[in-house]
Amino acid sequence: MNKIQAIRGMNDILPNETPLWLYFESTVQRVVGSYGYREIRFPVLEQTQLFKRSIGEVTDIVEKEMYSFDDRNGENLSLRPEGTACCVRAADEHGLLYNQQQRLWYKGPMFRYERPQKGRYRQFHQFGVEAFGMNGPDIDVELIMLTARLWQELGLTAHVRLEINNIGTSADRKEFGAALVSFLQAHEEALDADSKRRLGSNPLRILDSKVPSTQAILADAPVLAEYVSAQTKAHFAELTDLLDAAGIAYIVNPKLVRGLDYYNNMVFEWITDTLGAQGTVCAGGRYDGLVEQLGGRATPGVGFAMGIERLVLMLQELDLVPAALTQVIDVYVAIGEGMGAKAIALAETMRSALPALRVQLNCGGGKMNNQLKKAFNSGATHALVIEADEQGQLSQVKLRQLGDEPTTEQVPVNELLSKLKQHFPNA
């Protein structure tokens, strides 16, 4: 019979990888916690309308990447393709936004029907941060500094670059879009099919075209920077001043427009060259109109999301995985004939007395030699051998330090805990 396999583009994260995921997630949680951010959790399913109204009807995500379906009640629902819209929906629904400032974070799976390749999946995971009620640019800089601190902690600083842009207000972009359309209409025949279609729907996305002939036409096209309003220019200038003062290097990329419609003013991406084509590891920007657009009171917002798969891949490829992560057991307990109940009790006593000590019991029996082989292969630093003495009692145990030059100590049972404390002072 054919075995049922996972859905294309949806990955299992196996036990040898989960320690790295946990390390990444706990590092980010610690860093965002150090800036006072609090966690929010929301469902993976939302009304499809939420994403249409926020990300935009004429975006790749909404046009062709959402997992949408009618539920049994005929309501059209979608698996969340991103977290910002959900976060705004949840925060507004529960009254967290009115007249307040909020610093929130979330993590979890997102779903997009994209063509899978390295670093791009159909179920992927984001760690996202959203800040509400602050106009910036101080909060914008805080978010960027928080990510810079994270790269520092993970050892990634030399491998990522920050690109920023001012994309103006939505009115600025409308005006720019009109100018772009009238310029491109003069070259319509030479445009690729996708760009022709976007001419009538979402002309700014043509700027992202990868088709060389279209890029050649764009070389002489109007540029967004000439259409952005004075107010957003002042915000952006202040932002770059603050980044300079904080010593954070950046590149102003006038072509950076982002693929979601809710942004305005400042947008940014952290990009790496180590992953090939899918090099954006963190992306975000301001979205001051979004809360109101979704029916709430006008509330400024800014945030970003990181692709966890991409950052985990980077840590692996750059050999930045801390060695200690692969070690999951400290003491492997090998059990002699008839000592099962005593070994179980002793292991429990050890766990109670030394809560951080990771103790694994040999289960399923086996000769002592085989058990010690299993101890060695488990990655534990120590094996504890529990065998009966000549009177059939448990008076002493052997604590064996595993490794290239194993050493063994005989330890009276009643001194075991203090001996372990010497070997594992942090347990």
Residues of this chain that interact with ligand HAM (CB under 6 A) are 82-84, 112, 114, 119-121, 124, 126, 128, 130, 260, 280-285, 303-307, 309-310
CB of 77 to ligand HAM, least distance (A): 19
For ligand HAM, which is the closer residue by CB, 67 or 376?
67
For ligand HAM, which is the closer residue by CB, 272 or 362?
272
For ligand HAM, which is the closer residue by CB, 7 or 193?
7
CB of 47 to ligand HAM, least distance (A): 17
For ligand HAM, which is the closer residue by CB, 162 or 281?
281
CB of 409 to ligand HAM, least distance (A): 50
Rounded CA separation 70/138 (Å)? 43
CB of 294 to ligand HAM, least distance (A): 14
For ligand HAM, which is the closer residue by CB, 114 or 238?
114
CB of 316 to ligand HAM, least distance (A): 15
For 103, phi then psi, to 5°, come to -120, 110
CB of 99 to ligand HAM, least distance (A): 21
For ligand HAM, which is the closer residue by CB, 130 or 140?
130
* Cβ partners under 8 Å of residue 102, min gap 6: 38, 91, 96, 130, 131, 132, 133
**HEC states along the chain?**
CCCCCCCCCECCCCCCCHHHHHHHHHHHHHHHHCCCCEECCCCCEEEHHHHHHHHCCCCHHHHHHCCEEECCCCCEEEECCCCHHHHHHHHHHCCCCCCCCEEEEEEEEEECCCCCECCECCEEEEEEEEEECCCCCHHHHHHHHHHHHHHHHHCCHHHCEEEEEECCCHHHHHHHHHHHHHHHHCCHHHCCHHHHHHHHHCHHHHHHCCCHHHHHHHCCCCCHHHCCCHHHHHHHHHHHHHHHHHCCCCEECCCCCCCCCCCEEEEEEEECCCCCCCCEEEEEEECCCHHHHCCCCCCCEEEEEEEHHHHHHHHHHCCCCCHHHHCCCCEEEEECCCCHHHHHHHHHHHHHHCCCCCEEECCCCCCHHHHHHHHHHCCCCEEEEECCCCCCCCCEEEEEECCCCCEEEEEEHHHHHHHHHHHCCCC
CB of 215 to ligand HAM, least distance (A): 21
For ligand HAM, which is the closer residue by CB, 129 or 350?
129
CB of 376 to ligand HAM, least distance (A): 38
For ligand HAM, which is the closer residue by CB, 177 or 307?
307
CB of 267 to ligand HAM, least distance (A): 8
- Residue listed under structure tokens 């950052």: 311
For ligand HAM, which is the closer residue by CB, 281 or 386?
281
For ligand HAM, which is the closer residue by CB, 130 or 330?
130
CB of 65 to ligand HAM, least distance (A): 8
Burial of 228 (0-12, 13-18, 19+ CB in 10 A): buried
The residue with its CB nearest to ligand HAM is: 307
